A = this chain, B = another copy of it.
């Protein structure tokens, strides 16, 4: 009666029919035989490829976080276009894993060839700067001369589009290499513009197991934890206890529901807003003080609240980011200051690397002077390590993450990379379906997604004319089209080293 004998080949084809990033955790396959008694006593042994391995901030934070994770051990391959920087970080890593407070050790190597770095990787972590800091500075400074201000400049607006046009070809290359060398690896992206870098990975290598991580939502959980502590007169709980439903795109994400135990925190927030009628006041003084002291990241949590008041969902990123997605707060520096936010100057960006180097040098000097704990081993607030552990089997972990929308954000376009909660379990990552955004806010997010999708097309096709369409449609662009074209041409020109393949059919 057997109508057909399922052949090996056939069934393999069948089973792989579902095309979504499946949960084939090669990492675990590798790790498992080498785990002796996990569940307390043993360790997962994993291979990590760190792209942007020469980075001064993220790489070192990752080393510290790993050094404090007893469940993990293995190897880290550092890859960086600036190979010397990667090599410097090998030294930094060795110091960190040699730290007296370290509880585990990874073998760290700098690798010149990306393919070699990726080969055999269980996890790929990407944290790069798309181009030198001078380009970041240009992204901010050129639009400013045309009257378009950015509070940050790494995500959206003309600056974010410029950055994306540099980043997309780079991530296209990464995607191809990952597909070739470690298609089953989990890929964790920290690079901005988060949405478009992650989208490029998925577009170029369908089925890639990539997701994007950002800590902005954690800050919102923290603020809500503080708020509930004040209003309910209880000890401030850790932010992880504050459950938030988030939706939107990275840095333009919103809380539609927030709870701690059985308390409705958005209701609490409403009470707070009613009780505290001194919140929405002019914060120019605060801003000027921040500016004077170089506290570029300071803000008053006022714009996030303004979104809540106007649209019914709480902004779930810092005010500096939120302000960049709508035209209301950035018409002039004075207006921005009224909301307690300052413009991060390009000079700060230009000085960042040097500052980081100075810090390391100082620390190493201290260490050389005998202070073994000069480099403090402190866990960061990032969740990368928790995610890795959950994917290895220590889950489930439910947290927010950037992934292509397969249905998790019902009111946002399918396929666009969105930020919502997801469940990490052994070898598996599944987004959770979240609430729709309130009507008009959903529209504001969709217009951002529209611009992002056209930017993605522009980047992948290296087409400046399409990129300019996106730039015109960006909510921050309100200058005449001829002026905007002049601005765009200037931006393209200073990006030339990283945009050689781009062409325009305009003369």
Contacts and interface: CB of A to CB of B under 8 A. Distances in A.
Interface of A: 1-15, 17-20, 22-26, 28-29, 32, 243, 245, 256-257, 259, 261-262, 264, 266-267, 269-271, 273-274, 277, 279-282, 306, 308-313, 327-329, 331, 335, 338-339, 393, 396, 398, 406-410, 414, 421, 423, 425-428, 430-436, 438-444, 446-447, 450-451, 453-454, 457, 465-466, 468-470, 472-473, 477-482, 484-486, 505-507
A5 B274 contact: yes
B439 A469 contact: yes
A274 to B, nearest CB: 6
A398 B410 contact: no
A124 to B, nearest CB: 19
Given A29-B262, A257-B18, A478 B435 contact: no
A22 B257 contact: yes
A11, A266, A426 pick with most chain B CB within 10 angstroms: A11
Contact of A274 (B8, B20, B480, B481): B8
Question: Mostly helix, strand, loop or mixed at chain A's interface?
Answer: mixed
Contacts of A486: 3
A457 B243 CA distance: 31
A506 B433 contact: no
Nearest to A506: B4
Contact of A259 (B32, B311, B428): B428
A433 B408 contact: yes
Given A29-B262, A427-B262, A479 B8 contact: no
A261 B431 contact: no
Contact of A407 (B7, B22, B308, B433): B433
A327 B478 contact: yes
Contacts of A11: 266-267, 269-271, 273-274
Given A328-B484, A408-B433, A454-B440, A426 B277 contact: no
A279 B473 CA distance: 23
B14 A270 contact: yes
B18 A256 contact: yes
Nearest to A308: B14
Given A14-B313, A18-B245, A23-B257, 15 more contacts: A4-B485, A4-B506, A6-B309, A11-B266, A11-B274, A14-B308, A14-B312, A15-B267, A22-B257, A280-B482, A310-B481, A327-B477, A335-B480, A339-B480, A423-B432
